[in-house]
C-alpha cells in the first residue's frame, strides 16, 4: 500500500476518533478537538491526491477508496451536527438527505458507467462541492463547541452562525448543481 492510500485509510480511521471526542460530554473541549481532527483528516484528502499525481502513485484502490473516505467523513460530520441540533431541524435533516441522495445517485451512475467500461472522473464542480461541505462542517463544529461552552461573545457567535449556515446552504446548492451536472454530462450512460 503506497503513501497516498495510507493517507486515505487514515482519513477513515480518524472518523470514530472524531466522533468519540465530539459526542463525549466529559471532555469540555471535545467538540473543538473533533473539529481539529476533522480538519486534519480532510487535509489528508488534498495531500493524498497531490502525492499520488506528483509521484505517479495513482492506483485503482486509491480511486476506489478516496471517494468513499470523503463521503464517510462528510457524512459523519453532518450526522454529528444534525444529531445535536447544531443545524436546527428540519434544515439539518434536509441538508443531510440532499447530500446523501446526491452521493447515492452519483455512485449508482458511476457503477452503471463502470459496467459499460466508462470511467466518470470527479470534475471541478464536484471538487468545489466537497470543499464547501468540508468548510461548512468545520464552521459547524466550531458553532457546536460554542453552543456547549458559551465561550464566544454574542456578536462573534452570531457571525459564526450566519457564516456556518450560509456556507452550508451554498454547499447544499453546489451538491444539487453538481449532481445534475453529473447526470447531464453522462446521460449517455442511461441509454
* Across 12-26, average pLDDT: 96
Output the CA torsion sign for 20, 133, 10, 119: positive
Cβ-Cβ contacts under 8 Å for 175 (sequence gap 6 or more): 98, 99, 102, 129, 133
Is 119 a residue whose pLDDT tops 80? no
Domain housing 119: 3-190
User: Residue 42's pLDDT is what?
Assistant: 95
User: Residue 61's pLDDT is what?
Assistant: 82
Output the CA torsion sign for 83, 85, 86, 90: positive
* Across 19-37, average pLDDT: 95
Q: What is the mean pLDDT of the chain?
A: 93
- Distance, first Cα to last Cα, the chain: 37
Q: How far is CA 188 from its chain centroid?
A: 28
Q: How many domains does the chain have?
A: 1
User: Residue 157's pLDDT is what?
Assistant: 95
The string of pLDDT tens digits covering residues 51-72 is 999 999 988 788 788 888 999 9
How many contiguous H segments (helices) and E segments (strands) does the chain have?
Answer: 6, 0
Peptide bond into 16 cis (omega under 30): no
Of the candidates 98, 94, 74, 77, which has an alpha carbon nearest to the alpha carbon of residue 177?
98
pTM over 0.85: yes
Cβ-Cβ contacts under 8 Å for 132 (sequence gap 6 or more): 167, 170, 171, 174
Q: What CATH number does residue 10 fall under?
A: 1.20.120.1760
State the cell numbers at 31.
467538540
Q: How far is CA 44 from its chain centroid?
A: 12
Amino acid at each position: 500500500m503506497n503513501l497516498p492510500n495510507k493517507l486515505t485509510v487514515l482519513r477513515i480511521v480518524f472518523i470514530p476518533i472524531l466522533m468519540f471526542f465530539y459526542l463525549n460530554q466529559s471532555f469540555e473541549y471535545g467538540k473543538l478537538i473533533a473539529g481539529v481532527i476533522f480538519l486534519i483528516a480532510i487535509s489528508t484528502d488534498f495531500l493524498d491526491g497531490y502525492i499520488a499525481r506528483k509521484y505517479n502513485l495513482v492506483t485503482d484502490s486509491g480511486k476506489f477508496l478516496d471517494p468513499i473516505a470523503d463521503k464517510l467523513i462528510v457524512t459523519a460530520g453532518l450526522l454529528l451536527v444534525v444529531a445535536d441540533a447544531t443545524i436546527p431541524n428540519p434544515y439539518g435533516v434536509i441538508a443531510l438527505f440532499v447530500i446523501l441522495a446526491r452521493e447515492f445517485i452519483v455512485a449508482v451512475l458511476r457503477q452503471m458507467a463502470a459496467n459499460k467500461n466508462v470511467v466518470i472522473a470527479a470534475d471541478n464542480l464536484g471538487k468545489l462541492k466537497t470543499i464547501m461541505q468540508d468548510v461548512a462542517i468545520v464552521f459547524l463544529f466550531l458553532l457546536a463547541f460554542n453552543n456547549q461552552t458559551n465561550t464566544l461573545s454574542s456578536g462573534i457567535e452570531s457571525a459564526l452562525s450566519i457564516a456556518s449556515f450560509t456556507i452550508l446552504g451554498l454547499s447544499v446548492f453546489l451538491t444539487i448543481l453538481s449532481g445534475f451536472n453529473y447526470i447531464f454530462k453522462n446521460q449517455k450512460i442511461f441509454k
